[in-house]
Amino acid sequence: MISQIDRCLRACVHSAGLLIIGILTSTSLPAAEQVVEQNVLIREGFHSAFLEYFFPQTFFLKINETPSLTLIESLLIFAGVLLAMFGLWFLQKPKAGTQSGVGFQLLNLGERKPFIPLKSEIQTLEFLTQIQTSKKYRLSANLTRVTLTPHQNTFVLEDKNYKNALLINRRRSHRTVLCDNDVLDVGEMILLFRNHVVPAGTIHRPASKDLQLPIVGIIPKGPVHKMTPILTVSGSTQKIPLVRNLITIGSSNSNDIIVEGDEVALRHAKIYKVGASWKIQNLLIQETTTVNGRRIDQRFLQDGDEVTVGDIMFKFKSGKAQIKQTLKSKTETAKKI
């Protein structure tokens, strides 16, 4: 904007200068006008009266009868103009692949030296605080607890704190094997991981669709007991341990498990403990909760049951079954021996 104003001002100054020249040479102005009239409004011989009426020979630009350049010269200059155009085109060429090797690239706007090379040794992300940037960025607090470990041709990023506002590909992650074009958000700093040896997509990650489910489960404090049953969200690796005796499911924030779906009510269903087993109950008569494909009002849950709440499916896995299985396998191995 400022540059435009600057340019406009300059243009004004130039035109004012032109006017001043005109005033200073005002004595010669009428003479100049005469010359212009002679030059511009020359009437030459005409082909017919009709043509003279409709197309008087007052040329716009009245180029002299003998042009100031020869044909070859003018063609050469024209070629020069074309060359200059393609020179501009060439200048606009995006400067790709100037950096090689492993490192981070700063994606924040207006950074002069955006590439940060990485040494292949175990290091923490602490070095980000020492980088000279054009603007001061707020970074996550505990960068000393985020480590980069060399792993084959690339690095493993491990976040031991997990409370950091550190996102990998815009998602919170505990441990990630980095590959080319991964985007890291460290506080306000946006970094792009560069490694041509490991192109994007070579490292298997859980599909993005799985993580799309906006399900918030109960976060257990401390380790989960072996007996605790687990709800697994279908099509995802997310596991929700049932650490309380009464758990409600619904779309409202007051629920223990918050499920945002089109057909999920604010308070949809509850799962509660009855003796040693677990029971699910539908809380609204107009909403559907199914177990193994059957619409239910209330029902005891068994290991491996498929529970759907609205349009979201869970798989119920009781803690006991796990123990039984491990016992079975132990006895089987004992028998084999």
Pick one of 209, 221, 335, 336: the residue that binds another protein (CB under 8 A).
Answer: 209
Q: For residues 176 and 198, what is the distance between their CA atoms, to the nearest angstrom?
A: 14
For residue 181, give the nearest of 170, 195, 167 by alpha carbon.
195
Residue 214: which of 184, 160, 255, 159 has the closest Cα? 255
Q: What's the order of all strands across the beta sheet hosting 306-309? A: 239-241, 230-233, 312-317, 306-309, 289-291, 294-295
Cβ atoms 248, 255 nearer than 8 A: yes
* CA 63 to chain centroid: 57
Instruction: Look up residue 256 and give its amino acid.
Output: D
Interface residue with another protein among 16, 17, 67, 300 (CB under 8 A) is: 67
Please report how many Cα atoms fall inside a 13 Å half-sphere around the Cα of residue 88, on the Cβ side: 5
Report the C-alpha gap between 224 and 262 in whole angstroms: 31
Q: Rule CB under 8 A: say whether 27 interacts with another protein.
A: no
- Number of residues lying near another protein (CB under 8 A): 66
Strands, sheet with 146-151, edge to edge from the N-terminal-most edge strand: 123-124, 146-151, 154-159, 175-177
Minimum Å gap between C-beta 108 and another protein is: 8
Interacting positions 143-202 with another protein (CB under 8 A): 169-171, 180-181, 183, 190, 192, 200-201
Site pattern 101..140 for another protein (x: CB under 8 A) = ------x-x-------------------------------
Question: In this chain, which of 43, 89, 254, 294 binds another protein, going by CB under 8 A?
Answer: 89
Among positions 43-62, residues that touch another protein (CB under 8 A) are 47, 51, 53-61
Single residue of 85, 165, 266, 323 touching another protein by CB under 8 A = 85
Candidate list 49, 71, 276, 337; residue touching another protein; CB under 8 A? 71
CB of 174 to another protein, least distance (A): 17
Our CB check for another protein shows the closer of 167 and 224 to be 167
Scanning 86-94, 231-239, 267-275, 289-297 for contacts with another protein by CB under 8 A, the matching segment is 86-94
**286 near another protein, judged by CB under 8 A:** no
Site for another protein (CB under 8 A): which residue of 27, 43, 49, 94? 94
Rounded to a whole number of angstroms, the minimum distance from the CB of residue 182 to another protein is: 10
Q: Which residues bind another protein (CB under 8 A)?
A: 1, 3-4, 7, 15, 18, 21-22, 25, 29, 32-33, 35-36, 40-41, 47, 51, 53-61, 63-64, 67-71, 73-75, 77-78, 81-82, 84-85, 88-89, 92-97, 107, 109, 169-171, 180-181, 183, 190, 192, 200-201, 208-209, 212
